[in-house]
């Protein structure tokens, strides 16, 4: 069951939200994420190459993994 509610949001947020399709879904998923104290992002949404680049730069990543990551990042 759905219910219509009225809330006050910042005008800038309104401007951004009104450009998006299915605004109710966006608002609902954002509220659910906030109430569940979930992460602000989903790791699956981050491109693999970006994850590999981040890992390759970390100090706690072992050297042979860094070499493999660097090879993958520079081969494409």
Render pLDDT for 32-61 as a digit per residue (tens, 0 to 9).
888 887 566 678 888 999 999 999 999 999
Based on the structure, what is the number of domains in the chain?
Answer: 1
Residue 5 is assigned to a structural domain of this protein:
no
Residue 3 is assigned to a structural domain of this protein:
no
Domain coverage including residue 54 = 45-74
Residue 58 is assigned to a structural domain of this protein:
yes
Residue 34 is assigned to a structural domain of this protein:
no
- Long-range (24+ apart) CB contacts under 8 A made by 16-24 are none
Residue 13 is assigned to a structural domain of this protein:
no
Contact 17, 31 (CB under 8 A): no
User: Does the predicted model carry a pTM greater than 0.75?
Assistant: no
Sign of CA dihedral 24, 46, 57, 38: positive
Residue 61 is assigned to a structural domain of this protein:
yes
Contact 58, 68 (CB under 8 A): no
pLDDT of residue 2 exceeding 90: no
Q: Token pair of 32, please?
A: 């659910």
Residue 11 is assigned to a structural domain of this protein:
no
Contact 53, 73 (CB under 8 A): yes
């Amino acid at each position: 069951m759905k219910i219509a509610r009225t809330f006050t949001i910042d005008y800038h947020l309104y401007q951004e939200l009104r450009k998006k399709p299915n605004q109710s879904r966006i608002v609902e998923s954002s509220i659910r994420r906030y109430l569940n104290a979930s992460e602000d992002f989903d790791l699956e949404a981050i491109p693999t190459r970006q994850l590999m680049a981040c890992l390759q730069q970390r100090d706690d990543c072992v050297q042979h993994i860094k070499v493999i990551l660097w090879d993958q990042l520079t081969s494409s």
